[in-house]
Amino acid sequence: MKEENEPYRQYVAFIDRQKELTDLGLFIDKQPSEILFVHGPKSSGKTTLLYRFLEQIQKEQKLNVKFLDLREIFTNVYEDFLKTFFRVETKGEKKETLSSNINVGFFKIDSTVEKKILEKRADPFKVMKAELLELTRQGIKPVLIIDELQALDKIYLDNDKERQLIMALFNFFVAMTKQAHLAHIIIASSDGYFLNTVFTDSKLKKCSRFYKVDYLAKKDVMEWLLNLEKYSKIKDYTLAEADAQKIWDTVGGSMWEIQYLLTELFDNPIDDVLSLYKKKIKGMIKYYIGMDMRKEKILEVFLKKETADIKDFAPLGIVTGELEGLLQDMVRNNILYFDPTEAVYYPQGKSYYWGIRLYFGH
């Protein structure tokens, strides 16, 4: 039976991550000097970690935390970017707390400044810098956290294809961190290929660093699965160690997938749930490959290797330009993950290894 103050049969779990929270805390405890790129495969828990970190640092009074999750906001053209990053504050608007700027416009401006920006009589980057300077003057540390920044890729300043917004933003971020030391900037993305491209093209090597948030370790997964009431508030069933092992063998430490499987276990036997899930991933692989045998050749490499770099695909006979385009597409479609720190590719977790093996009849 569910308690009245617990209306759900299952809750989203947050498992450990104390090291990651400590590392992020240390990052904002020093004077700003670099951009922090938080990366990791899909469903590794990056966004959940950042929201937990946000809750943790909101308790500090001398911080102005601006958090933006671009998955929740439609951005297609430059004007969308302006609406996302700036919010017009009216005279009668209730004063906000320092840490309440979540997806409501990074920077507050009045209608006069908004008009100047839209009419191109004011530089939006100078407007942002002015607010950061004012916060610093007041003894307040600005912290800018942007999740899935690649949503702004392919947006251009004034529709000029030679002026990419994303590059202008990174130049601004470098100026605010390495040069002016005005703000801590944390960029998160599950698209390692995008991060690597930006890192290389915008010459960020000496003013930024990568921080990987990987899938949960086996000990954390087993701790979770063997204590479902403690971590997920599930009271309808418990798992034996052998069943927890089966879940680990199927999806590893992928938090979203584990939580999905736990939901399915309310009404279905575990072996049926796991078998169906593997078939589902196989179907996704099959649909993605379609009739493109080049994609099939690339994924076949992972029957023999857990990770692969660009040299491992050379014997496939795919033209270099086409190969890079296909790998990028696989990363963007969350079939493969590209780790920008090691420059290696691998399937998006254990379930995708299963999907690939089943596709090839293994």
State the 10-residue block means of pLDDT for the chain, 362 residues long: 71 93 94 92 90 86 84 76 79 48 66 84 90 92 90 77 81 92 92 75 74 95 97 96 98 96 97 97 96 96 95 93 93 91 92 97 89
Instruction: Tell me how far apart the alpha carbons of residues 18 and 194 are, in angstroms, rounded to a whole number.
Output: 28
Token couple for 135: 């916060």
**What are residue 88's DSSP bridge partners?**
109
Query: Using an 8 Å Cβ cutoff, are 15 and 224 in contact?
Result: yes
Tokens for 28, please give them: 């904002």
Rounded to whole angstroms, the Cα distance separating 93 from 115 reads 19
Task: Name all domains of the chain by residue range, CATH numbers in brackets.
Answer: 18-212 (3.40.50.300), 218-359 (no CATH)
pLDDT at 99: 41
Give 193-218 pLDDT, tens digit per residue. Answer: 777 777 666 567 678 888 999 999 99
Neighbour-count burial of 74, counting CB atoms closer than 10 A to its CB (0-12 exposed, 13-18 middle, 19+ buried): exposed
Cβ proximity of 262 and 10 under 8 Å: yes
Global pTM value: 0.86
- pLDDT (0 to 100) of residue 1: 44
**Helices of type H across 207-269:** 218-225, 228-232, 241-251, 255-264
Angle at Cα 347 formed by Cα 342 and Cα 348, nearest 5°?
95
Q: How many CA atoms lie within 13 A of 326 on its CB side?
A: 19
Q: Reduce the DSSP state of residue 148 to 3 states and report it.
A: coil
